[in-house]
């Protein structure tokens, strides 16, 4: 895609995304997930949503890519292959139920989408070196919200 991946814009480019661009990208990704979960003939869970799998076109419209770990939902599998094989994902983005061997589900994608949103608006990867000894990206943002420092996080 002409503007590369969201990963590049969040962590590698000297240019930055505006708040409006970030919101538009968030809406684009949410729309893609809604389509996969609700409007496909056979609903699909992406299972590996992360900034490097969100591609940006000429107009900075986000497109979700890399369906290598995607699974059919609800037993729908037109190819006849099992869709509940052991899931793998990217460290920091894996939904808790996936880590315990759970089946692919829309809720897992929703969790992963939440992590993506936190990364988009904090600029911190869920695997950042600062996240040690029980501190996670979600806990970092939660503590900032309740501590009154949310603007410093963003």
Query: By the 8 A CB rule, do 39 and 134 touch?
Result: no
Catalytic residue among 28, 39, 48, 57: 48
What secondary structure, in 3-state letters, does the chain show?
CCCCEHHHHHHHCCCCCCHHHHHHHHHHHHHHHHHHHHHCCCCEECCCCCHHHEEECCCCCEEECCCCCCEECCCCCCCCCCCCCCCCCCCCCCCHHHHCCCCCCHHHHHHHHHHHHHHHHHCCCCCCCCCCCCCCHHHHHHHHHHHCCHHHHC
34 catalytically annotated: no
Task: Show which residues are catalytic.
Answer: 48
């Amino acid at each position: 895609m002409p503007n590369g991946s969201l990963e590049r814009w969040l962590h590698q480019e000297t240019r930055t995304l505006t708040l409006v661009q970030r919101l538009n990208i968030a809406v684009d990704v949410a729309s893609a997930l809604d389509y996969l979960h609700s409007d496909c003939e056979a609903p699909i869970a992406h299972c590996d949503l992360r900034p490097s799998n969100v591609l940006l076109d000429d107009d900075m419209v986000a497109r979700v890519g890399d369906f290598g770990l995607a699974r059919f939902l609800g037993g729908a599998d037109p190819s006849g292959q099992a869709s509940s094989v052991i899931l793998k994902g990217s460290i920091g983005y894996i939904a808790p139920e996936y880590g315990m061997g759970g089946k692919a589900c829309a809720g897992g994608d929703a969790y992963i989408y939440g992590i993506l949103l936190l990364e988009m608006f904090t600029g911190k990867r869920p695997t950042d070196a600062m996240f040690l000894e029980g501190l996670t990206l979600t806990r970092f943002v939660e503590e900032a919200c309740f501590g009154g420092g949310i603007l410093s996080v963003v």
